[in-house]
Amino acid sequence: MRETRKVARLHAILWGIFSLGGMIAAFLLPVMIYLTGIAYPLGLWPFNGSRDPSFLVTGTLLGMLFVFVTVAGSLFHGIFRFQSALTEVGLLRLKRGLEAVGYLIIFVGIVLLAYYLLVLNPSLPAL
């Protein structure tokens, strides 16, 4: 009984993070994709040649936090939802394996992201 309660609590926490990641992906990811993947390489507003997206990573603490929250939240949400979608198209018998691979990608991805951000900002920039 206690085991079931523990599993249910973990399940609820993971779904809570998934929902938070969904909000982050909906509110923050579009502007991040626009800034880094479209506006900068094509020279569109707001990049006028004076700055580039690396400023988001090392320019200010707020930018660094924005990158971490947006990328980590979107990665969690995207992988969690995608592995769940795969179980609905005939891969239900591989559910455990898909979950294991999914959580591994999420874990390694978020740890690497945090490590890279800290390496690139040895002394945290001002807010």
Q: Which residues bind other proteins (CB under 8 A)?
A: 4, 22-23, 25-38, 40-42, 46-47, 51-57, 59-60, 62-63, 66-67, 71-72, 74-75, 77-82, 84-85, 88-90, 105, 109, 112-113, 116-117, 119-120
CB closer to other proteins out of 10 and 33: 33
**Whole-number Å distance between alpha carbons of 68 and 114:** 7
CB closer to other proteins out of 25 and 98: 25
The torsion angles phi and psi of 41, rounded to 5 degrees, stand at -65, -25
Residue type (1 letter), 70: T
DSSP state of 126: P
In the complex, least distance from residue 23 CB atom to other proteins, rounded to whole angstroms: 8
